[in-house]
Every structure is written in structure tokens, then in C-alpha cells.
Amino acid sequence: MEENAISGDDNTHWFHSNGIITSIDNSQKKICVDISQKNNFFDGTNITLNCNKSSLDITHLEAGQEITFYFFKNNVLDTEVAIEKLNIVTP
């Protein structure tokens, strides 16, 4: 077992946020969203979700849908975040 392992910090569990999809770029696997509620993770209300994780399929998504997305805190870079999972709130 690794002696320097730390358990329970901000980078060991997913955070989540909600937003409305404003645009989708299937070729780059990126989604632009308007954040529903201001939070401490993002510098503004319009952010880009990096969906390059191989298990994420964004081809069925449409602008105007509300989604919940899940991410690690260390994957937040100003107005872009690499996400781990997403769920559609409104079809």
C-alpha cells in the first residue's frame, strides 16, 4: 500500500452541477452549457464540457436540454471542465 496515499480530499470524489446545453461539437466531443446556478467551481455561467472520456456518448444530446454533469475538482480549468459522466434532466 502506498504510504503517501490521501483519502477523502476534493480530488477523490465527483462534484456535480446542472446546466442547459447551448451548443454541441460532436467532432471535438465538447458541449457548451449555461450553468443553472452559480457555484464556486466556474468563473462565469457559460462553460465548456470536455467529453473526451471514451464512455461518454454525446451524439444523442440537443441544445436546450438540461443536464447534470459530474467531474473531479482538479479537472476544472476556468471555463472548461473534463467530465466523468452526464445525465439528461429534461429530454
- pLDDT in the model for residue 29: 96
- pLDDT in the model for residue 33: 97
- pLDDT in the model for residue 1: 42
Strands 15-25 and 66-77: antiparallel
Closest of 50, 44, 30, 55 to residue 78, by C-alpha: 44
Closest of 14, 50, 59, 19 to residue 37, by C-alpha: 19
Topology of the domain covering 15-88: OB fold (Dihydrolipoamide Acetyltransferase, E2P) (2.40.50)
Q: Across all residues in the chain, what is the average pLDDT?
A: 87
Domain ranges of the chain: 15-88
Sorted by sequence, the CB contacts under 8 Å of residue 55 that are 6+ apart come out as none
